[in-house]
């Protein structure tokens, strides 16, 4: 499987600016969600930038474009829908070619430290960059996303220098992981008000696990301005792949009781559904407990607390999950 390049470029040139120094960085360990938007987008006056190569970004409040190498035909396109970014198309053409993700659920705007997003039924659609013809290699391409780290104090070198939030986060590290030791995982370091500062491709093979294979850094101001991204090749998936939708019937429960409490629930779906994953977690925690099951499920909770329950549906046309809060109180 070729390496997917989603956060920057695989072509790392010799970096000529002052390097990033994490040795004296101070980690942030808070529990509350972080608003990623000011970290991802950065201020207009701080773009474009360079270092390993040129990088610019365009942001109109909904569409986020990462324009690479000072070339309008090399870019990534993210779209913010409600509270979640979606990766629409990557036309970096630097090893991964040109492709789109479907549904392409990317980073939510608000994340807690360590939070994991599972896109196990994502579909990749690959294109010939010259003709936009869909390649036969298109198909299922699962991945996970995480907010790995946050820092309140860090030295980012170049024209950025030292950032100090006096206890508040000033930099975050996001991870994209296809979950395959034949591919790499990728991290992006984003700084408050600055956007993307560093991208790394990291090995997952046993022989050199966690070795940094490639790195690009963007901490020097200046570069090609005024570029408008080219049209690209984005195409919707074939219409016979109907995207799934899912919700939970209102008769779930019991909604309160003494431990151990066994609750049941039934999901209602539309579209093509191949897998249903039920999930639950105690309020105040970020990690879900999951269970693959049918449309009806039965779960026993042994510890007192207030629990949130949800369910996700996956199919060849994408995925869907419940967002409305449904609670069960165990005394």
Q: What is the pLDDT of residues 105-128, one digit of tens each?
A: 999 999 999 999 999 889 999 998
Q: In three state form, how does the secondary structure of the chain look?
A: CCCCCCCCCCCCCCCCCCCCEEEEEEECCCCCCEECHHHHHCCHHHCCEEECCCEEEEECCCEEEEEECCCCCCEEEEEEECCEEEEEEECCCCCCCEEEEECCEEEECEECCCCEEEECCCEEEEECCCCCCECCCCEECCEEEEEEEEEEEEECCCCCCEEECCCCCCEEEEEEECCCCCCCEEEEEEECCCEEEEEEEECCCHHHCCCEEEEEEEEEECCCCCCCCCCCCCCCCCCCCCCCEEEECCCCECCEECCCEEEEEEEEEECCCCEEEEEEEECCCCCCEEEEECCEEEEEECCCEEEEEEEEEEECCEEEECCCCEEEEEC
CA distance 224 to 36: 26
pLDDT score of 53: 93
Please count the other Cβ atoms lying within 10 Å of the Cβ belonging to residue 203: 17
Strand partners, 253: 264
The first and second tokens of residue 175, run together, are: 């991870």
Strand partners, 298: 264
Q: Which one is predicted more confidently, 200 or 94? A: 200
pLDDT score of 140: 83
Query: Is 90 exceeded by the pLDDT of residue 312?
Result: yes
Asked if residue 192 lies in contact with residue 51, where contact means CB atoms within 8 angstroms, the answer is no
* Residue 93 banded pLDDT, cuts 50, 70, 90: confident
Query: What is the rounded average pLDDT of the residues 267-273?
Result: 92
Q: Which domains does the chain have, with CATH numbers?
A: 21-221 (no CATH), 245-330 (2.60.40.10)
Instruction: Tell me whether strands 63-68 and 21-27 are parallel, antiparallel or unpaired.
Output: unpaired
Query: What is the rounded average pLDDT of the residues 216-244?
Result: 87
Least confident residue range of 61-70, 149-158, 182-191 = 182-191
pLDDT score of 239: 56
**Which pLDDT tens digit goes with each residue over 50-89?**
999 999 999 999 999 999 999 999 999 999 999 999 999 9
pLDDT score of 109: 97
pLDDT score of 318: 76
* Residue 150 banded pLDDT, cuts 50, 70, 90: very high
Range with the largest mean pLDDT of 32-46, 173-187, 202-216: 32-46
Burial class (CB in 10 A: 0-12, 13-18, 19+), 149: buried
| The residue to which tokens 């099951």 are assigned | 293
From 121, 164, 171, select the one nearest 148 (Cα to Cα): 171
- Residue 301 CA, chain-centre distance (Å), reads 31
Alpha-carbon Rg for the chain, nearest whole angstrom, is 21
Instruction: Tell me whether strands 256-257 and 326-330 are parallel, antiparallel or unpaired.
Output: parallel
pLDDT score of 65: 97
* Residue 315 banded pLDDT, cuts 50, 70, 90: confident
pLDDT score of 7: 39
- pLDDT, mean over the chain: 90
**Which pLDDT tens digit goes with each residue over 5-18?**
333 333 333 334 46
pLDDT score of 220: 97
* Residue 282 banded pLDDT, cuts 50, 70, 90: very high
Buried b / exposed e along 49-74 (16+ C-beta atoms within 10 A): bbbbbbbbbbbeeeebbbbbbbbbbb
Return the percentage of the chain with pLDDT > 70, whole number.
92
The first and second tokens of residue 170, run together, are: 């000033």
Altogether, the residues listed in the chain come to a count of: 331
């Amino acid at each position: 499987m070729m390496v997917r390049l989603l956060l920057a470029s695989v072509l790392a040139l010799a970096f000529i600016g002052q390097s990033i120094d994490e040795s004296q960085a101070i980690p942030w360990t808070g529990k509350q969600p972080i608003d990623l938007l000011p970290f991802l987008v950065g201020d207009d006056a701080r773009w474009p930038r360079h270092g390993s190569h040129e990088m610019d970004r365009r942001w109109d409040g909904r569409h986020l474009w990462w324009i690479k190498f000072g070339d309008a035909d090399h870019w990534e396109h993210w779209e913010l829908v409600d509270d979640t970014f979606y990766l629409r198309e990557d036309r970096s053409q630097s090893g991964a070619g040109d492709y789109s993700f479907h549904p392409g659920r990317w980073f939510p705007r608000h994340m807690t430290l360590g939070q994991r997003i599972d896109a196990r039924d994502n579909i990749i659609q690959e294109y010939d960059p010259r003709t936009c013809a869909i390649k036969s290699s298109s198909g299922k391409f699962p991945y996970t996303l995480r907010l790995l780290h946050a820092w309140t104090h860090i030295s980012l070198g170049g024209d950025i220098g030292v950032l100090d939030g006096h206890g508040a986060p000033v930099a975050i590290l996001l991870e994209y992981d296809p979950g395959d030791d034949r591919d790499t995982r990728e991290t992006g370091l984003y700084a408050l008000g600055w956007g993307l500062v560093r991208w790394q491709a990291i090995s997952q093979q046993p022989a050199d696990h966690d070795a940094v294979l490639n790195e690009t850094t963007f901490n020097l101001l200046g570069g090609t301005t005024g570029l408008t991204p080219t049209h690209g090749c984005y195409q919707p998936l074939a219409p016979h792949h109907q995207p799934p939708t899912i919700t939970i019937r209102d008769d779930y429960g019991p909604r309160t009781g003494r431990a151990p409490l066994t609750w049941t629930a039934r999901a209602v779906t539309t579209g093509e559904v191949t897998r249903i994953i039920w999930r639950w977690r105690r309020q105040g925690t970020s990690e879900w407990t999951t269970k693959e099951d049918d449309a009806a499920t039965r779960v026993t909770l042994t510890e007192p607390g207030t629990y949130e329950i949800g369910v996700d549906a996956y199919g060849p046309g994408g995925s869907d999950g419940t967002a409305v809060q449904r609670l069960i109180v165990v005394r």
